[in-house]
Amino acid sequence: AYFALQVIYARRKYKISPPETTGHPEFERIFRAQANCSEYFPIFVSLLWVSGIFFHQGVAAACGLLYLYTRFKYFQGYAVAAQGRLGPLYASAQLLWLLMGLAVAGLLAHFLLP
Set 12, 29, 32, 71: catalytic member: 12
CA angle 27, 21, 66 (to 5 degrees): 60
* Alpha helices, DSSP H, located in 15-114: 25-54, 57-80, 86-112
The sign one gets for the Cα dihedral 54, 90, 68, 1 is negative
29 noted as active-site residue: no
In one letter, which amino acid is 59? V
Look up residue 56 and give its DSSP letter. Answer: -
The one catalytic residue among 11, 29, 71, 85: 85
Catalytic residues: 12, 85
